């Protein structure tokens, strides 16, 4: 049966293969950030419902993990195909609850589908080893097995792809999952559950628990003896809390936390390409991504040219409702985001920055903010050390290669970095000098399911995507087979 629009707008959570309300019937409203209108209401769950979901996942674990990787792949591929088929429906839903332009929303849905397709195949390649034994008549085997029930906690800025990026490898490895989506954007997660069910995923393998207060849900996941792995994408502060809580049961944990991405334009760069890359990196999702260019460093010899071309391009970016196909920048997620960006801009200006473009709430009002460009930046400004998470581009001038590398590395974060240069000797030197888990050279776009995504320093632990992402959900087992000598 073909699904309709209304089939995707769920007002119940998904636990153990059933669509259920919260105990006591409590719910909370989901708002459209573009106009603050109410889209829907979903169950306001807590510890009890989370423990029920964990138990459902545990009940399903043996059946799912005992299937061959090929049989699990059939379901994951079907899930991917359904995401592609219903991408237009899912994109509208995402734009309504998150605000991003419809084209970006559809791209995100398709990006999520890529993870299910990739891991459907990669799950078949969870190879082990045979190690030569130092003991006569013995063999040493190393196998990989599913780690078990996994708790997954995801953010609002990519409400579909972040779930897919974690769930796909977990399920491919043979794990089962309890997912807590962000309270601002639970509808995309529930829509994924609709398609999981349609794809034939067994009851309890994928569970979605919704709640306005994330604390009791996260605590239940982190404190549970049944849950063996937690994966979280979100703020640095919350990640540290989860890590401390998980330490009580020594869970395996993956953390994809904040970033403070430098974007460096050297004197030998193609300035036109650098401008295009900076626009893509900085203004995607209204600047609300952890890999956005947060600090743009431009060599003094090309600084004026870069700023002129960059500002001209930014002026062309249309701000508006994400449902308008011409819009490039949608609203920020909430009023708190508006307050934060205003504080960053005021701080920069008070310390000598020049406001070249934007700097205010857009004429559309509410949470729409003007694409903004700041120049004459320095390292004393908050925006130099804090993630701005808004459509604000601060541009710094530099003279010396080693100095800009030092400035780029002068942060607790180490997620993504970008730079432009046509000197191959410089390229390799800078790649190896930047203290980041991801480095993009001569491009502003870097995400793909086939490469390992993740940071170093306080940007997190572990990797998502690629063959390395599968290992995050598996345990190694060493098997010594002795008594084999005839």
CA 140 to chain centre: 38
- The span from the CA of 469 to the CA of 236, in Å, is 21
In degrees to the nearest 10, what's the CA dihedral of 319, 325, 326, 332?
A: 10
Q: Are 163 and 98 in contact (CB under 8 A)?
A: no
β-pair partners for 477: 143
**256 given a catalytic annotation:** yes
205 three-state secondary structure: coil
CA-closest candidate to residue 156, choices 129, 136, 186, 133? 186
Pairing of strands 38-43, 129-131: unpaired
- The span from the CA of 268 to the CA of 290, in Å, is 28
**150 given a catalytic annotation:** no
Q: Which residues, including other chains, have CB under 8 Å from residue 73's CB and lie 6 or more apart?
A: 120, 121, 123, 124, 172
Q: From the CB of residue 308, how many other CB atoms can be counted at a distance below 10 Å?
A: 13
Residue of 117, 256, 449, 464 marked catalytic: 256
- The span from the CA of 411 to the CA of 409, in Å, is 6
Residue of 150, 222, 246, 290 marked catalytic: 290
CA-closest candidate to residue 358, choices 393, 307, 321? 393
- The span from the CA of 136 to the CA of 159, in Å, is 54
List active site positions. Answer: 256, 290
């Amino acid at each position: 049966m073909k699904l309709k629009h209304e089939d995707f707008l769920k007002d119940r959570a998904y636990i153990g293969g059933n669509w259920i309300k919260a105990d006591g019937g409590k719910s909370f409203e989901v708002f459209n950030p573009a106009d603050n209108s109410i889209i829907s209401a979903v169950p306001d769950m807590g510890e009890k419902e989370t423990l029920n979901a964990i138990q459902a996942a545990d009940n399903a674990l043996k059946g799912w993990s005992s299937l061959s990787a090929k049989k699990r792949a059939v379901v994951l591929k079907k899930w991917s195909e359904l995401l592609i088929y219903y991408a237009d429906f899912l994109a509208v839903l995402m734009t309504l609850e998150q605000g991003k332009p419809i084209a970006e929303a559809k791209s995100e849905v398709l990006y999520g589908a890529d993870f299910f397709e990739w891991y459907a195949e990669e799950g078949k390649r969870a190879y082990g080893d045979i190690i030569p034994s130092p003991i006569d008549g013995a063999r040493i085997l190393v196998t990989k097995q599913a780690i078990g029930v996994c708790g997954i906690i995801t953010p609002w800025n990519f409400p579909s792809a972040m779930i897919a990026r974690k769930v796909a490898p977990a399920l491919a490895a043979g794990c089962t999952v309890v997912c807590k989506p962000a309270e601002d954007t639970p509808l995309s997660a529930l829509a994924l559950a609709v398609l999981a069910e349609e794809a034939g995923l067994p009851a309890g393998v994928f569970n979605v628990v919704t709640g306005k207060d994330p604390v009791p849900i996260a605590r239940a996941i982190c404190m549970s003896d049944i849950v063996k792995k937690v994966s979280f994408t979100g703020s640095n502060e919350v990640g540290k809390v989860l890590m401390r809580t998980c330490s009580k049961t020594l869970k395996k944990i993956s953390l994809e936390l904040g970033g403070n991405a430098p974007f460096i334009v050297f004197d030998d760069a193609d300035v036109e390409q650098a401008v295009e890359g900076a626009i893509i990196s900085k203004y995607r999702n209204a600047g609300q991504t952890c890999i956005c260019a947060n600090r743009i460093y431009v060599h003094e010899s090309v600084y004026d040219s870069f700023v002129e071309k960059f500002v001209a391009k930014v002026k062309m970016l249309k701000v508006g409702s994400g449902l308008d196909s011409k819009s490039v920048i949608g609203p920020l997620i909430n009023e708190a985001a508006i307050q934060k960006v205003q504080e960053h801009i005021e701080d920069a200006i008070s310390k000598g920055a020049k406001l070249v473009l934007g700097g205010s709430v857009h004429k559309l009002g509410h949470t729409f903010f003007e694409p903004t460009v700041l120049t004459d930046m320095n390292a004393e400004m908050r925006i130099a050390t804090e993630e701005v998470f808004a459509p604000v581009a601060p541009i710094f001038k530099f003279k010396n290669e080693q100095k800009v590398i030092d400035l780029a590395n002068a942060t607790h974060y180490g997620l993504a970095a970008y730079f432009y240069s046509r000197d191959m000797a410089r390229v390799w030197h800078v790649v190896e000098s930047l203290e980041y888990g991801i480095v993009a050279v001569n491009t502003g776009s870097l995400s793909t399911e086939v490469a390992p995504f993740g940071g170093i320093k306080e940007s997190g632990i572990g990797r998502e995507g690629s063959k390395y992402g599968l290992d995050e959900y598996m345990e190694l087992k060493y098997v010594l087979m002795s008594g084999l000598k005839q």
